[in-house]
Amino acid sequence: MRYSISSVVSALSLASVLGGVGAVPVADTCRNPIVRKEWRTLKNSEKASYITAVKCLQTTPSIATATIPNAISRFDDFQGVHIQRTFQIHFVGHFLAWHRYYVAAYEKALREECGYTGAQPYWDWTLDSADFLSSPLWDPTTGFGGNGAPIPATNNSFAVPGATGGGCVTDGPFVDFRLHLGPGDSLNATSRCLTRGFSPVIAANFSNTAKVDRALAQVDFGWFDKIVEGETNFVNVGIHGGGHYSIGGEAGDLYASPGDPVFYLHHANLDRVYWLWQSQNLATRLLDISGSVELLGPITGPNVTLSFPIEMGPLAKNITVRNLMDIQGLAAGTGPLCYEYADSPAVDDDEDEDENDKC
Ligand SMILES: *[C@@H]1O[C@H](CO)[C@@H](O)[C@H](O)[C@H]1NC(C)=O
Ligand SMILES: *[C@@H]1O[C@H](CO)[C@@H](O)[C@H](O)[C@H]1NC(C)=O
Ligand SMILES: *[C@@H]1O[C@H](CO)[C@@H](O)[C@H](O)[C@H]1NC(C)=O
Ligand SMILES: *[C@@H]1O[C@H](CO)[C@@H](O)[C@H](O)[C@H]1NC(C)=O
Ligand SMILES: *[C@@H]1O[C@H](CO)[C@@H](O)[C@H](O)[C@H]1NC(C)=O
Ligand SMILES: [Cu+2]
């Protein structure tokens, strides 16, 4: 029920109604929102176009060298800004808003600088939770390539439970790709391979439907965000950490994780879950924001509000949280966003009924 097309459609019409009330009249520039689809529902030709656009971003010259001197490509610009802002954008009230804007900026760069005509795909990791290694994402020809080569456990600076691999990826489109920033908070010049360290255990325990349902069942944004972000340990990993640590390697690096192109599919899915949560009650949830402005900051505040500034450095202009609450804010006259999410292929009414007991 929660996920059904009809509930999302009615939610979207409500968004337009809300936007009309008291909003400055704006040309209807979001009549055709681009549709973000689950990776495995794309045609092979669409998958190829996306990968081609990512590789284009990886070879398009940086525009951010004033603030990230060792960025070489536009892809590096995105990773560099995430590295720089890590402590301002995680375990804070605007975590989801910031990453919503970040993914949208990346999608815009793919479309406007690399000729990509599709939308940012998402990765519904619940589909792969039970059989992580068989995910179509890891296909060497129609996906992002697979696990990293095995390295000794002692070489893994960050021991993710159940991690395998850990070295450079050995197949797929990014086998020769070089990262120029990181690891961790380093912005020094470097040339590194893309590493992965798959952990099927993390995927099974933390990237499953029950975890998503638990997040969706939260009554306010504060609790929703808390459940999504989880804790800074491997016992109560949120669905955010589940995606990151199940891939591991570069993607498991809190700072440098956008160095793995799959980062953007993972965060698009988190954004989809955020939107599904908002869509259960848009009248309230387009306005509901809370949480500390500081990393794991005090419960006493200061807290994030709708007027809190969201900074993207050289990637996009400064805006406020208010502008990021609605993924079709462009239609509502309240922000720059104009996209929607196609249902995940897992979701149908039969399955919804089966899942009712879990929440
Ligand atoms: C493991 O770490 C050691 C010491 O830093 C290094 O010499 C070695 O090359 C590393 N091995 C692999 C497979 O990365
Ligand atoms: C980065 O470069 C600076 C200046 O050369 C150096 O002090 C620092 O140790 C380097 N950091 C890393 C992680 O290599
Ligand atoms: C994953 O779940 C299993 C079964 O509940 C549990 O035994 C194991 O400790 C969990 N592992 C992690 C890393 O959470
Ligand atoms: C910040 O939010 C917390 C939790 O919602 C609340 O208890 C606290 O009073 C808020 N602080 C301020 C300054 O608004
Ligand atoms: C965004 O705001 C910050 C803080 O006020 C400012 O330093 C920065 O120059 C602004 N960036 C842009 C692109 O306007
Ligand atoms: Cu992040």
Q: How confident is the model at residue 18 (pLDDT cuts 50, 70, 90)?
A: very low
Q: How confident is the model at residue 24 (pLDDT cuts 50, 70, 90)?
A: very low
**Rounded Cα gap, residues 142 and 41, in angstroms:** 12
Q: Please name the residue that has the structure tokens 């638990």.
A: 214
Find the ligand nearest to 69 CA: 2
Give mean pLDDT, residues 137-162.
87
Other C-beta atoms lying within 10 Å of the C-beta of residue 226: 17
Q: How confident is the model at residue 297 (pLDDT cuts 50, 70, 90)?
A: confident
Give mean pLDDT, residues 156-170.
86
- Does residue 205 line the site of ligand 3, with CB under 6 A? yes
Distance from the CA of 155 to the center of ligand 1, in angstroms?
6
Give mean pLDDT, residues 102-129.
98
Give percent helix, percent strand, percent coil of the chain, each to the nearest 5: 45, 10, 45
- Does residue 117 line the site of ligand 2, with CB under 6 A? no
Buried b (16+ CB within 10 A) or exposed e, 158-196: eebebbbbbbbbbebbbeebebbbbbeeebeeeebbbbb
Which residue of 158, 198, 201, 208 sits with most ligand 3 atoms within 8 Å of its CB, as the best mutation to test the pocket? 201
What are the tens digits of pLDDT across the range 244-265? 999 999 999 999 999 999 999 9
Tell the residue nearest (CA) to atom 10 of ligand 5: 318
Whether 113 has a pLDDT exceeding 70, the answer reads yes
| Phi/psi of residue 225, nearest 5 degrees | -65, -40
Q: Give, in order, the Cα–Cα distances in Å from 149 to each of 51, 240, 342.
A: 22, 24, 34
Which residue of 151, 155, 156 sits with most ligand 1 atoms within 8 Å of its CB, as the best mutation to test the pocket? 155
With a CB cutoff of 8 Å and minimum separation 6, the contacts of 258 are: 78, 79, 82, 264
Q: What is the pTM of this model?
A: 0.88
Identify the residue with better confidence: 314 or 3.
Answer: 314
Find the ligand nearest to 314 CA: 5
Identify the residue with better confidence: 356 or 160.
Answer: 160
**Rounded Cα gap, residues 136 and 125, in angstroms:** 11
- Does residue 150 line the site of ligand 3, with CB under 6 A? no
Q: How confident is the model at residue 28 (pLDDT cuts 50, 70, 90)?
A: low
Distance from the CA of 57 to the center of ligand 1, in angstroms?
31
Distance from the CA of 299 to the center of ligand 6, in angstroms?
22
What are the tens digits of pLDDT across the range 114-124? 999 999 999 99
Peptide bond into 140 cis (omega under 30): no
Give mean pLDDT, residues 185-204.
97
Could you give the domains of the chain? 5-154+161-342 (1.10.1280.10)
Give mean pLDDT, residues 58-63.
98
